[in-house]
Structure 1
Amino acid sequence: MEQTKDRQIAAKWAFNLLKGNFCILDTETTGIDAKAQVCQIAVINSLGELLFESLVQPTHPIPESATAIHGITNAMVKDAPSFDQALVPLLRATGNRDVVIYNAEFDLRAIRQSFYPHKIWLAFPTSDRRQT
């Protein structure tokens, strides 16, 4: 029974992708550890059009090692919105679309870690998520 449900979920997910009912989310972060937070987030639609992009001010400084990878400095995020301020526009951008994330496990962990300092408790539906 569970296998049938999984197939139905996978079929719906694939159908929505073929319809173009998806968006792609990407983040840059302050690092890779358990305290890493988002410092930039962007969403494009299936046509590659930008739906949302923002630098995000993390609650701790961006280490030089992270800046060396993505080029985002503490000065660049100084006046950027905090994660809780960026969340509503982000959710509007993703809307009711399926969200495709390359290296989803890492990005979703960084997003969750960005929630915690702002006392945001938001669950992501993961039953129909396909690791990309």
Structure 2
Amino acid sequence: MLDPSSSILDAEFIAFDLETTGCSPDFSEIVEIGAVRFRLDGTEIARFQQLVDPRCRIPAATTAVHGITDDMVADQPPIEEALPKFLKFLGDAEAIGMAHNAAFDVGFLNRALHRCNEVCPLTPVIDTVRLSRRWVHNCRRYTLAALGQHFGVADYVEHRGLSDSLVLKDVFLGVMREGLIVETVGDFLRLAKPKFFRATKPPEKTPCLPSEFAALQAAADSRSTVLMKYQSAKRGVAERSVTPRKFVQFRNTVYLLAFCHTDRKEKQYRLDRIRDFHVDSGE
């Protein structure tokens, strides 16, 4: 267990990164876990890298980002086998975890913890985006690539689990050198305000759709492209080109989970805000 009174110089840190089939843990899967364990003086203790079979096709648009193909994961262990290996690497809360945009990575792991019925690790996880925005004042952007360039990190294969983790390690060390002065683990955690793992279950149930949305369900089943008019709080009614994935209900609201070709990412849409739609015939 972490001792809050111990010196920050004696602490161990674990930078980790996930690659996935999409942006939402509600309907996307983990395809790679990468991590590196290190100390504040830069000493590397151990590495972890594991491709994961998501048991589904990886969308072409997602492969274009991280380069992981269906063939690469075909013979890899599923998350039920890969997750316990990663939890063993994390250890029993004797290290401080970190991820760049931690809500994303922790969110996917929380869903996996629930699915695999695993005990949540007690490892605190700091968000290096938040840490960088607070302590790095002369950087125009706070993406991992931009921060890596700011701190002079060597070129790397972007958007792969282990390579991103190694860059994250160097970025974090750069942030600490740039002016984050703390003496103890407790002082550091109070400043960093870490997240903690909490197993989360999927949305409550699969809904029964009104008859007027039957064609939308058929489009989800066939992975067809749908052109729809959607009313959002910020944009008003706007046209969207989407590929429906599935429908979920949370409390009393039904959502369409879909890949949005307009914004090039996975999104969720409230069914009651879809004003019109038709399936694109491709003609």
What interval of TM-score do these two structures reach, taking the shorter chain for normalisation?
A: 0.7 to 0.9
Alignment of 1:6-25 (within 5 A): 12=4, 15-16=7-8, 18-25=9-16
Tell me which protein shows more helix as a share of its residues.
1
Could you say if the C-alpha distance between residues 50 and 21 of structure 1 is closer, same or farther in structure 2, counting changes exceeding 3 Å?
closer
Q: Highest Rg: 1 or 2?
A: 2
What is the CA distance between 1:14 and its match in structure 2? 9.3
- Cα shift at 1:41: 0.3
Q: CA deviation at 1:42?
A: 0.9
Deviations 1:14-71 (A, max 9, x none): 954x324111111111110331221000110123454210100113221111100000
Distance in 1, Cα, partners of 2:60 & 2:7:
42
Whichever structure has more strand as a proportion of its residues is 2
| Percentage of identical aligned residues | 28
Q: Partner amino acid for 2:35?
A: V
Unaligned runs of 5+ residues in structure 2 are 129-283
Contact (CA 8 Å) 1:58, 1:114: kept in 2 or not? no
Q: How many residues align?
A: 120
Taking CA–CA contacts closer than 8 Å with sequence separation of 6 or more, which of the two structures ends up with the larger relative contact order?
1
2:107 is matched with 109
Given that 1:52 and 1:89 are in contact with CA atoms closer than 8 Å, whether structure 2 keeps it comes out as no
Q: Which amino acid aligns with 2:16?
A: L
The answer to whether the 8 A contact 1:37-1:113 is kept is: no
Provide the residue aligned with 2:36 in structure 1: 44
Query: Runs of 5+ in structure 1 lacking a partner?
Result: 1-8
Q: How large is the Cα RMSD of the aligned pairs?
A: 2.7
In the superposition, relative to structure 1, how do residues 24 and 42 fare at CA in structure 2: closer, same or farther (>3 Å)? Answer: same
Following TM superposition, by how much is the alpha carbon of 1:120 offset from its aligned partner in structure 2, in angstroms? 2.4
Equivalent residues of 2:21, 2:30 under 8 A apart:
yes
Partner residue, 1:4: none
SS at match of 2:4: helix
CA distance in 2, matches of 1:15, 1:64: 47
| TM-score normalised per structure 1 | 0.75
- TM-score in terms of structure 2 length: 0.38
Quick check: 1:36–1:113 contact (8 Å CA) kept in 2? no
* Structure 1 moving runs of 4+ over 4 Å: 13-16
Verify the 8 A CA contact 1:43 1:94 in the aligned structure 2.
no
